[in-house]
Amino acid sequence: MNLKSITYRRAAETFRITQPDHWRRISAADVLAVDKCGKKFLNQLRLYLAHRGINLRGDNPPSYWLDTLDRPSGDNNQVIGVCPFTVVIDTNETFPFPFDSILDREGNPVSVPVVRRPLYTAGLADYTINGMECDIQLERKGDDLPSSLTERRENFEDEIRRLSEMCEFAAVIVEHPWRYFLENQHDHGASGKSISRTVIAWQIAYPQVHWWFCESRYQAEQVAFRLMERFFWMKMRSERDGD
């Protein structure tokens, strides 16, 4: 990191940075908002700070940036796929998304840090962002959706109601397309008609919970990550703008 570069001096002057530790109060969104401070500069700054045990506000810890950005080639100017947040997965998820096939806009593989926590003990869903657990929640459903709407209907509706009331954004991400559930060939006594009517009714009753019916597990994983990614950056920019 060239501390005498025009770009670094512009950013440092903008935020009145006089020592590295001052960067703790600045978010990645703040940095990107500075003229000519792009993704390459942001990653250089992240690595510079990580070597000093410092991370930007809301960013992943220094260890993540050292593992992700400090490549053996020594080419720290290379723009690579990174994830600024950590995904939290409920310990009750028996077949969680691995998030190992995420790409950035340039097609670079993204290293997504993941931790497991018992989210269910607080009445939360399956996936969220570390530090934003009460702001965004994603519930994953697959073949178990019919049973959730019959055998577990009361508990499942309580969860949907809770997420709608508590979160800024919540979603149920289903690993099958809508047409899959319209067929009258489901166990647990759930017909396609009852499933569709319940989902429609709950979307009206609990508008903060959005439903995504995906073509495959792969697409469901991609949707889950992109929702978290977009929400993270929205929050960072909102804090930057003081909203």
pLDDT at 217 over 70: yes
**CA 182, 124, 24, 100: dihedral to nearest 10 degrees?**
-40
Q: What is the mean pLDDT of residues 169-183?
A: 92
pLDDT at 184 over 70: no
Task: For residue range 39-75, list pLDDT tens digits in order.
Answer: 889 999 999 999 999 999 999 999 999 988 876 654 5
Angle at 162 between CA 157 and CA 168, to 5 degrees: 125
pLDDT averaged over every residue in the chain:
89
Task: For residue range 13-47, list pLDDT tens digits in order.
Answer: 999 999 999 999 999 999 999 988 998 899 999 99
CATH domain 87-237 topology: Rossmann fold (3.40.50)
Domain positions in the chain are 6-80, 87-237
In sequence order, the β-bridge partners of residue 87 are 114, 129
pLDDT at 161 over 70: yes
Model pTM score: 0.84
